[in-house]
Amino acid sequence: MLGVPYDGGTTYQPGARLAPFHVRRVSALLQSHHPVHGIDVFRDLRCVDGGNIVFPPFDREAMRAAVEAEIRQLSAALVTPLVFGGDHSVTLPILRALAKRHGPLAVVQVDAHLDLSTAEVWGEDFHHGTVFRHAIDEGLIADGQLYQLGLRGPRGAETDDALARARGHHAVSADEIGERGPKRVCAEVRERIGRHRPVYVSFDIDAVDPAHAPGTGTPVPGGITAREALALVRGLAGTNVIGGDIVEVCPPLDHADITAHLAAHLAWELLAVIATRS
């Protein structure tokens, strides 16, 4: 586990740089036994908190370089990285490092937003809304293997998801997750991915409804519940997860740490998925 205290890629409300400190603090409530999978997470996995990756908080190039270098090194040492952002722009250097090792990945992106934006929108090409466009453009994601779960809300234009559709990627709105249930959605995702393809899980906490995750910078009402969010991660057991992140937790906007607790539990579910890898 690594923290990336960076929020310089935020378009609306910053503060996600503080998330690693708070998620660690509330992780005191986690325990080891997973009653659904029937495993003992912290016995089956050797988990290490590797602290935060260090860089000047104002410098996006330095952030990307530091994160990519660190993940490459861990990956070379056969360590599975679990990263706490920071905003979603921290995901790009992780994907670069992991794709270098594993080739094009399957990516499960749980998110309210597409994050496929172009440079024109904000007059800048690298921020939290362009991550997956870069990842697709750079060939980090295998065709048809981007799973965008939890989408909703207004978009800039009809063509916002054109790139993803052109590559055959898969999208499930928050409404559909509610209607069909996370178990069926995950069964479908698992089937499309298969047991062996390397999978990266990028969980943007704004996929979750602001009621359950008020502490985030670009909230969109109408999201999935915490119960659905946990089930979505849990439902990836049986795939070959080779890394993941939980991003966009913004503590200054949180209340009673409920977003931080949710992030810690999502991390625990993801660790459990990793622990079940065959």
Task: Find the binding residues for a second copy in span 166-205 (CB under 8 A).
Answer: 173-175, 178-179, 181
The window from 77-85, 91-99, 133-141, 248-256 that contacts a second copy (CB under 8 A) reads: 248-256
**CB of residue 149 to a second copy, shortest distance in Å:** 14
* Side-chain-facing half-sphere of 161: CA atoms under 13 Å: 17
61 binds a second copy per the rule CB under 8 A: no
**CB of residue 150 to a second copy, shortest distance in Å:** 11
* DSSP 8-state code for residue 52: B
Among residues 101, 167, 212, 277, the one that binds a second copy under rule CB under 8 A: 212
Cis before residue 50, ω within 30 degrees of 0?
no
SS3 state at 47:
coil
60 binds a second copy per the rule CB under 8 A: yes
User: Smallest Cα–Cα separation from 249: which of 66, 5, 62?
Assistant: 5
Site for a second copy in 132-151 (CB under 8 A): 151
Residue 246 sits at φ, ψ, to 5 deg, of -130, 115
Give the whole-angstrom CA distance, residue 189 versus residue 61: 34
Residue whose tokens read 């502490």 = 215
Among residues 33, 180, 184, 195, the one that binds a second copy under rule CB under 8 A: 33
The window from 13-21, 102-110, 141-149, 241-249 that contacts a second copy (CB under 8 A) reads: 13-21
**CB of residue 135 to a second copy, shortest distance in Å:** 19
258 binds a second copy per the rule CB under 8 A: yes
Give the whole-angstrom CA distance, residue 273 versus residue 11: 32
- By DSSP bridging, strand 82-84 and strand 39-40 are unpaired
The window from 4-12, 98-106, 138-146, 192-200 that contacts a second copy (CB under 8 A) reads: 4-12
